[in-house]
Amino acid sequence: MKSLACLLIVFSLYACTSRPDELSGKIIDLTYAFDSTTVYWPTEKGFVFEKGQEGFTPGGWYYTANRFWTPEHGGTHIDAPIHFFKDRAYLDQLPLEKLIGKGVVIDVSAQCRENPDYQVSTEDLTAWESAHGEKLNDVIILLRTGFGKFWPDRVKYMGTNERGPDAVAKLHFPGLHPDAAKWIVENRSVKAIGLDTPSIDYGQSKDFRTHVTLYEKSVPAMENVANLDQLPDKAFTVIALPIKIKGGSGGPLRIVAVLSE
């Protein structure tokens, strides 16, 4: 019995001291709320919220329940690899290991102020590595373009407030260059990539090669990520959990960053 008590004490001490430090710091919400102003691709209808019953019941208790409808891709959301590459993972098949992990921010906001069609380059990625003395391996990369400050103004955020297929040609916002995406999948081991614009490909893309390149190698992308201006370049953990839609090509995402103390 005495030896059992000692064992329990040791286990308790281990449990108390082994809590991950990266989950004990300040939490930053990187998710936009979904409502009638939420930004969607011009070809999508957008978010619909229907009020349901609200008030006190004959039994005396308060009760409310509503309904909502949304496309998979819009607002703060994640693309599953199947979105742009055949026979890749659906949303419900994404490994949790890809959605939780060490995060880094690559800041290209200065470049994007000068050029709304800027594409994050391989040089931007390697410059971060040189500045911080580490490689972009086993991380979730967040690209800070600075366009988050325009949300939800569709004209400033994505270049147009028009709707329908013809509006796609009028989109203007930064993205990740296909060559940089190719460099990532061929030279680094990245869990996922996110950014504060509507698409991982820049607005004027005609072939969505960045999507294709990343998703072929099963690197998912998170789009319309909020509050990247509140994050440091490193020293935080990302937790990005989407609605688990079976067979989904993507879906709404609740993403947070936990700063290291």
At 214-250, the pLDDT tens digits run: 999 999 999 999 999 999 999 999 999 999 999 999 9
Instruction: For the chain, give the percent of residues with pLDDT over 70.
Output: 91
Cα gap 132→185, rounded to integer Å: 20
pLDDT of residue 13: 41
Phi/psi-derived region of residue 158, left when phi > 0, alpha when psi is between -120 and 50, beta in every other case: alpha
Quote the mean pLDDT of the chain.
93
Domain 15-259, second-level architecture? 3-Layer(bba) Sandwich (3.50)
Task: Read off the pLDDT of residues 81-123 as tens digits, 9 standing for 90 and up.
Answer: 999 999 999 999 999 999 999 999 999 999 999 999 999 999 9
| Domain spans in the chain, listed from the N-terminal domain onward | 15-259
Q: Angle at Cα 88 formed by Cα 82 and Cα 89, nearest 5°?
A: 80
Cis peptide before 198 (omega within 30 of 0): no
Q: What are the backbone dihedrals phi and psi of residue 34, each rounded to the nearest 5 degrees, phi first?
A: -90, 125
Rounded CA-CA distance 122/77 in Å is 25
pLDDT one-digit tens code per residue, 143-176: 999 999 999 999 999 999 999 999 999 999 999 9
Residues 173 and 204: their CA atoms lie apart, in Å, by 8
* pLDDT score at 15: 44
